[in-house]
Amino acid sequence: MNASKISKSFQNLFSSALLSRFNKAANFIRRTNKLTPAVFLRLLCLELSGHSTTSLRDMCNILYSKYGIEMTKEGLNSRFSESACRYLKGIFEFLLNNKFCKVSPKLKKNLNRLLISDCTSYQLHPSLVDDFAGCGGSGSAAGLKIYNQNDWLSGSFTQLSIGTGKKNDTQFTDYDTLETGDLLLQDLGFNNKKALRTINDQGAYYVSRLKSNTNIYVDGKLISLYSFLKKHGYTKVGICQSFTIRLSAADSPIRLVVTRVPQAVYEKRRRQQVQANKRKGREATAAAKFLLNFTVHITNTSEEAIDSSEIASIYSIRWQIENGYKEWKSLTHLMIKTKVKSSRLRCHTWAKLIALFLKYQLIGAARLLKWKKTQKAISSYKCIKDLVSFLPQLSVALSTSFAAVQRLIKRIKKILLSKSNELEKRKGNKYNPDLAYACSPLEILARNRLF
């Protein structure tokens, strides 16, 4: 975590020369104005980093007190235009396509990046239903969905897109960005035979759960997962079994990894199943009840790369993106829930995503440095809380000098690496509720000699 290089990256990102280029491309501010493209970006990304409310009045007060810019609420509101959305989106895409902190660690055993992907949904004010149609039901008629794929080791976002709340998760994915050797962990909702075949054809690897209603090919014969496990799945609790299967007759062979769960886990799953079926007014089949006894994963990695007994623990790292989404919602106040125009909502969303990108880049660099020095993990939640308060100070430092930015980055580095930000292993602090793992992801990777 080189403070000088990171300081220079921040200085370049918020420089007038670079932002003028994005401003011109978006046709945002076309004449000399008190509110410059640089100030607009600092206001939304840095000054409002930890604000739960983003009223026009609050923003006008910040502009006057910090930058000496006096604007009316109406004047500021008019700046939240479609061109402003293009301006902020252009900056985010620039960050996405250019390594900000130049940190790109790789996994061992011929594996490349550790990629985790998932979607998160937000309910919006019903007045936005024309632009952001939601799923309906008991929630708001308007909703927004964000898809994120990140390189967990470096903290970089590799893909991010925004869509309506009713857009299917599988419509967000773009496997063309995969590199040879990437290890992809994603939720069950993204996986279908076509997607898994595409990942394999790209020379990448995956670890995934398997849908309970899937039919599989074993020794050239088609059989349901239920029938197969009825015959082969009974074993001692916690014992892992591995089988070679195909998802279709033409597909390459992959591993089916099955683990019998403890009775307490089965009973918990059964209660959740009963509650879900009660809401939907249906009964669980005998097959659905039986399959609750097992945790089932599939992977196209070799046994040499990842031992079958460790597949479940590797997959549990996927929970990091779920934890990240909780941090987005509880600490960064990503979404506006009040009645605002659509372009203003998109401006705030892209600006907050830029701020999140910068935060996770700093956390990724600190995580690797901490592990290298002490073999200990840091808490992403604690680090995000710290960075929320530091970003407004970064805005002040950028207006002062490079030396001021460098001093602040060194201070941030010290805070992120401090003992108070270490991950605490408390009872019940498990990365996978179904399996009793209480390890940090880096510990899991190190145990498997992948990092």
Q: Please, which residues bridge with residue 224 across strands? A: 215
Residue 402 lies in a domain: yes
Q: What is the per-residue pLDDT for 451?
A: 64
Distance CA 135, CA 141 (A): 7
H or E element at residue 205: strand 205-209
Closest among 172, 179, 170 to 151, alpha carbons compared? 179
- Residue 269 falls inside a structural domain: no
Host domain of residue 419? 1-209+301-451
Match 């000098």 to its residue by tokens. Answer: 401
3-state secondary structure labels for all residues of the chain: CCHHHHHHHHHHHCCHHHHHHHHHHHCCCCCCCCCCHHHHHHHHHHHCCCCCCCCHHHHHHHHHHHHCCCCCHHHHHHHCCHHHHHHHHHHHHHHHHCCCCCCCCCCCCCCCCEEEEEEEEEEECHHHCCCCECCCCCCCCEEEEEEEEEECCCCEEEEEEEEECCCCHHHCCCHHHCCCCCEEEECHHHCCHHHHHHHHHCCCEEEEECCCCCEEEECCEEEEHHHHHHHHCCCCCCCEEEEEEECCCCCCCEEEEEEECCHHHHHHHHHHHHHHHHHHCCCCCHHHHHHCCEEEEEECCCCCCCCHHHHHHHHHHHHHHHHHHHHHHHHCCCCCCCCCCHHHHHHHHHHHHHHHHHHHHHHHHHHHHHHHHHCCCECHHHHHHHHHHHHHHHHHHHHHCHHHHHHHHHHHHHHHCCHHHECCCCCCCCCECCCCECCCHHHHHHHCCCC
Distance CA 85, CA 188 (A): 32
Rounded Cα distance between 51 and 1, Å, is 28
Does some domain include residue 276? no
Cα distance between residue 362 and residue 358, in whole Å: 6
Give the angle subtended at the CA of 102 by the CAs of 96 and 104, to the nearest 5°.
85
**Category of 344 on φ-ψ map: left (φ > 0), alpha (ψ -120 to 50) or beta:** alpha
Q: Tell me what pLDDT residue 434 has.
A: 34
Q: Is residue 197 part of a domain?
A: yes
Q: How far is CA 366 from CA 6, 157, 395, in A?
A: 12, 16, 21
Q: Which helix (H) or strand (E) holds 337?
A: none
Asked whether residue 17 is assigned to any structural domain, the reply reads yes
The whole-angstrom separation of Cα 330 and Cα 311 is 31
In a domain, 291, yes or no: no
154 located within any domain: yes
Cα 203 to Cα 194, 252, 254, distances in angstroms: 15, 12, 14
- Bridge-based pairing of strands 142-151 and 156-164 is antiparallel
* Domain total of the chain: 1
Mean pLDDT split into 10-residue runs, the chain, 451 residues: 82 87 89 84 85 80 90 91 93 82 70 88 86 77 86 83 84 85 87 87 91 86 89 75 88 90 90 88 86 90 88 86 80 78 90 88 85 85 86 87 89 89 62 42 74 64
pLDDT of residue 338: 81
- Do 387 and 412 form a contact (C-beta atoms < 8 A)? yes
SS3 content of the chain, % helix, strand, coil (to 5): 50, 15, 35
The answer as to whether 200 is a domain residue is: yes
